[in-house]
Amino acid sequence: MEAAAQAERAPGGRLPAWLLGLIPLALIGAAIGAFALLGGPGLGERTGPPVEEVVVERTTLRPGEIELTLRNDGPDPVEFAQVAVNDAYASFTASDGTEVGRLGSTTLTIAYPWIEGEAYEIFILTSSGGTVDASIPVATETPEADLSFYGLMALLGIYVGVIPVSLGMLWLPFVRRVDARWIGALIAFTVGLLALLAIDAALEGLDIAAAAPGAFGGAALVFAGALVAYLLLAGVDAYLARRRANAGGSAAQGGLYMALLVAIGIGLHNLGEGLAIGSSYATGALALGAFLVVGFAIHNTTEGLAIVAPLRDGVGPTGGTRFGHLAVLGLIAGAPAILGAWIGAAAFNPSLAALLFGVGVGAIVRVIVQIAPAMRNDEGRILHPLSVAGLLAGIALLYVTGLLVSV
């Protein structure tokens, strides 16, 4: 016990190390507390109008009424006084009161006989004379979140996620029979496809973050999500690599592991894709037509090819266990689209959406870093004619199929 106590002490001091680490924190806390109790001495009285920054987080339309969920993104309380729809004043009620403090939110229920398919501009007047603007490009009733609604979102997720990815995985026999020198090109094709997916997810996340409350991080949420996902996957990768090495993992297991990484990255991207689809459907900005479903099917089928590209020496399409591996990979990559559609349609939040898109970006970048070395040729070069051709083919194919999809 005495030796342990001595080990906790600094080399030439009498206090344990943990206490020395707490002293600066205690002093900082005391200084902040004194500053607050004294009312900020030296700052003087504040002058000028209050700073009012309000974000419209969600718009819900029901027969005869419009609901707006508002969040105060500024430093000062905001009180909502009047509401006008297309320059005509309308009566309203507030779920949590008309005055909202910093980071607080309230839902305004506006009584207004809106017409299906019409466009509306809403102006909310605050007590200080400021305005909050909200627009409804095309008015349509928000679906009720009942069992049939979630069933429709699940069906949509299966159409645009699970089925296309699974069909794309049918290229596995082709991958296994292609000449060995083309495997690097196929891996490069996967990297090119994933790179464009990451760029697409980052742009979508930043676009959504622009409408999110800045106090919660705004665009920084995209980068934070990407960093967290990258670091988590890197940690998991190091752990699994050590276990695989200790167990003497084969090349086949290595190929399956790389396919799993690709499926995870694509799955997180499809989570964000489902989020965008679900929210667009709930607000009436998405028409569930056959062309859209076909477009997503063609677009996401390429993702299935990306998953099976590392499996040339891995599991095959025959045998119960091996088929089970492929089925699991398909679900990991495609099923998150269902969850994303549920979240987006029922409880879309721009801050959460920006974070999830960032998570998808980070996961995809980590996958690219992990599988890119497999592009090397016999001379040890990553960028050689075949790999460059594969990269360009992956980027071009995903871009062209992406033209069929508009959310």
Question: Per the confidence metrics, is the pTM higher than 0.75?
Answer: no
Per-residue confidence (pLDDT) for residue 254, from 0 to 100: 65
Q: How confident is the model at residue 75 (pLDDT cuts 50, 70, 90)?
A: confident
Per-residue confidence (pLDDT) for residue 51, from 0 to 100: 76
Kindly tell me if the per-residue pLDDT of 7 is higher than 80: no
Per-residue confidence (pLDDT) for residue 80, from 0 to 100: 92
Per-residue confidence (pLDDT) for residue 327, from 0 to 100: 86
Higher pLDDT, 41 or 248: 41
What percent of the chain shows pLDDT beyond 90?
9
| Mean of all residue pLDDT scores within the chain | 79
Which residues of the chain form CATH 2.60.40.1890?
Answer: 54-136
Per-residue confidence (pLDDT) for residue 317, from 0 to 100: 42
- Could you read off the pLDDT of 235-290 as tens digits, one per residue? 877 877 777 667 665 544 567 777 888 888 888 878 877 877 777 766 555 555 45
Q: Residue 61 phi/psi, 5° resolution?
A: -115, 130
Considering the domain delimited by 54-136, tell me its CATH architecture: Sandwich (2.60)
Least confident of 72-81, 179-188, 195-204: 179-188
What percent of the chain shows pLDDT beyond 70?
83
- Could you read off the pLDDT of 108-158 as tens digits, one per residue? 999 999 998 888 999 999 988 888 898 888 888 877 767 887 888 888 888
